[in-house]
Structure 1
Amino acid sequence: MANVTLKSNPFNTVGELPKVGNQAPDFTLTNTELAEISLTDLAGSNLILNIFPSIDTGTCATSVRTFNQKAASLENTKVLCISKDLPFAHARFCGAEGIENVISLSDISGEFGKNYQVAFTDGPLKGLLSRSIVIVNTKGEVIYTEQVSETTNEPNYESALAAL
């Protein structure tokens, strides 16, 4: 179980992020067109999993904007923006912001949060996803992880991108 904070108040997640060097756990998420997308659908690409509590918060929105900007120049790389928000919220945000270089995905079932061990188990965000980055290479191996220790902080974009 990972310990993180929200405005310095501690709480926990289901467990620890997948280990670097291991195969990435499979997932099935829902995109903004209500279609299911799985890890195997994205095989052969590098994947940046930008995981966050809600698209409707400032820090989460900033991470989507930042990765959208940086993803435009990445070769054979897809950025997946993943939260428990409904696909309609992702579509609304991305449409209003002109976000076109990321794939917005919803963990409606909650299985992703369990499989990647990022679901909060207590605190005010219980059931939502902890702000994290997981990078998966073209072979499906985890090559980088970061779980942001203070939920209101942004991830380390430069370190994440350097892993590619």
Structure 2
Amino acid sequence: MANPLEIVPPDVFIESGLERSELVPNAHYLADSGLIELMHGYNPSSFAGVRMAPRGIDLVENHYAFNRAFPPDLNETEEKTAAIPMLMERLAEEADLAPLDGEKRKSLHRDILYLREEVARPVERWRHDVIGAVLGWIENYLVDTEDNFLPSLAAIKEAVTPNQQP
């Protein structure tokens, strides 16, 4: 058995394409998190060897927990729609301050809730005709007023529109 403790020296990582400037801080972060164990040698800023800790093995084997701890990069479509949750929250706040009374205010809140539920789905499962209809319903509240009391609505339309399929 060449390596009974299964300890990997830093040279193996550097040969695989990682730079030492990226490797050392990330290794120390993972060690502080309890996911790997570091062996420190005579070079205090670096390490002599590393191996996975039991907690790290469990995390790697559980894909759901791994993706929660280290989310994957967003794809192109997700990057375009990343601002939508914050815009929806802003729209809900603007609706709270809207100069509408009674049933109109309740209807506006219901429409915003419906839109929020539609855009909460993965982008691939969006019902674009429904989203367009709900955006139209919300725009109808602005027709009777001179001022735009829902300024984030335009940003939501812009974020949703490029993703609509023909």
TM range (shorter): under 0.3
More helix by share: 2
By percentage of residues, which structure has more strand? 1
Question: TM (normalized to structure 1)?
Answer: 0.23
